[in-house]
């Protein structure tokens, strides 16, 4: 004999029109006093019972607002709209492009509660045949953050994306740096161009392009304190960037850098060309119209200089001057720890991971020291 379900266990009935079993659960009342119900259907009574149990189990777990039809596409688009507060418009646009191009077409129609780790693994593996490892990691990160955002809003029980490893993708644009001869040719070609001082500082102190574009004259010390003890050299203080909020990339990116003589000379020439005393809070590098430089201004002017230096203008970007700074220092024997501090990295691991191709591949310090401790007896 079939027992009647107790109050709160939901109900089942046959729908002649749909020819399916309908499961209905009452989950309480909303703020207006209206009954909250959830429904599901199954081709068989057993299937409908199973869905009824899932609804009641979700309710016990606190997922009272989740709907079975909520999709991955809805989750990632909601996150793009409400989960990126404080990010720049460029960042939001970049994330949106990646989501719409790589996430939504493959996974967007999938119901979020039915998304499995296997689905994500297959998606990542398929995408790895077309995109770089860096892009693949970003795609995984965006989906992971979107599902985590949905999980915090009771749309799904768990985040299966976090359980999936990112495979290796295609090789991205190779990281490269200027050699000494190319760097010297670039410095010579930059003389007389509007970007002269900018290129000199990028190449000789390794500041990020977004840090230089935010540099103001009040952060530049062209004289130093030669009579102090110890003497204080001319320097710039890297305190801001053009990132949202004006903050530098990390806390350790805030640093004071002594300037080589060529940097001091280039900035003095730039300052003298202003004709009048520039306000302390004025930007050091501006466009021909006197406005703040943007990335397009810099790239356009940089291409002209690289071409004049006899380099392939399409093969080089302004950020590779920073890579060249690391490479030239490494080739000169400067320790990795010193390079890391100069470029404003939070640790040597970041420097090694990002600039591995630019760092000296053979570590000679140990062999040199041991040759001194244990000299070759056969020598001489």
Active site residues: 208, 249, 322, 345, 355
Contact in structure between 307 and 313 (CB atoms under 8 Å): yes
In the chain, alpha helices (H): 45-60, 72-82, 89-98, 104-107, 117-127, 133-152, 180-190, 196-205, 209-212, 261-272, 295-308, 320-331, 336-342, 348-354, 365-373
Strand, coil or helix: what is 241?
Answer: coil
310: left (phi over 0), alpha (psi -120 to 50) or beta: left
With residue 40 as reference, give the H or E element that holds it: strand 35-42
Query: Rounded to whole angstroms, how far apart are CA atoms 279 and 290?
Result: 13
Strand, coil or helix: what is 236?
Answer: strand
Sign of CA dihedral 213, 219, 223, 228: negative
Sign of CA dihedral 246, 248, 254, 258: negative
């Amino acid at each position: 004999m079939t027992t009647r379900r107790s109050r709160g266990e939901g109900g089942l009935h046959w729908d002649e029109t749909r020819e399916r079993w309908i499961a209905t659960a009452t989950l309480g009342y909303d703020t207006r006093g209206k009954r909250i119900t959830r429904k599901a259907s199954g081709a068989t009574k057993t299937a409908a019972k199973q869905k009824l149990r899932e609804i009641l189990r979700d309710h016990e777990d606190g997922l009272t607002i989740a709907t079975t039809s909520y999709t991955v596409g809805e989750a990632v688009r909601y996150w793009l709209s409400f989960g990126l507060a404080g990010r720049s418009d460029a960042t939001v646009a970049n994330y949106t492009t990646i989501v719409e191009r790589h996430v939504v077409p493959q996974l967007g129609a999938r119901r979020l509660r039915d998304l499995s780790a296997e689905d994500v693994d297959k998606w990542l593996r398929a995408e790895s045949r077309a995109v770089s490892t860096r892009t693949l990691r970003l795609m995984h990160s965006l989906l992971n953050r979107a599902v985590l955002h949905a999980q915090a809003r009771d749309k799904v029980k768990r985040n299966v994306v976090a359980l999936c490893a990112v495979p290796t993708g295609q090789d991205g644009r190779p990281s490269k740096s200027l050699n000494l001869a190319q760097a010297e040719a670039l410095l010579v070609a930059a003389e007389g161009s509007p970007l002269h001082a900018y290129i000199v500082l990028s190449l000789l102190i390794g500041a990020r392009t977004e840090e230089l574009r935010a540099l103001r004259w009040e952060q530049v010390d062209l004289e130093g304190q030669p009579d102090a003890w110890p003497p204080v050299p001319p320097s710039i203080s890297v305190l801001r960037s053009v990132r949202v909020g004006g903050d530098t990339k990390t806390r350790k990116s805030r640093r004071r850098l002594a300037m080589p003589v060529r940097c001091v000379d280039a900035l003095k020439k730039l300052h003298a060309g202003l004709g009048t005393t520039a306000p302390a809070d004025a930007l050091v590098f501006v466009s021909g119209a006197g406005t703040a430089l943007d990335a397009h201004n810099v790239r356009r002017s940089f291409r002209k200089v690289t071409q004049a230096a006899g380099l392939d203008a399409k093969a080089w970007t302004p950020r590779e001057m920073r890579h060249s700074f690391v490479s030239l220092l490494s080739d000169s024997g400067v320790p990795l720890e010193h390079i890391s501090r100069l470029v404003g990295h939070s640790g040597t691991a970041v420097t090694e991971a990002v600039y591995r191709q630019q760092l000296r591949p053979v570590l000679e310090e140990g062999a040199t020291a041991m040759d001194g401790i244990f000299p070759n007896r056969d020598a001489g």
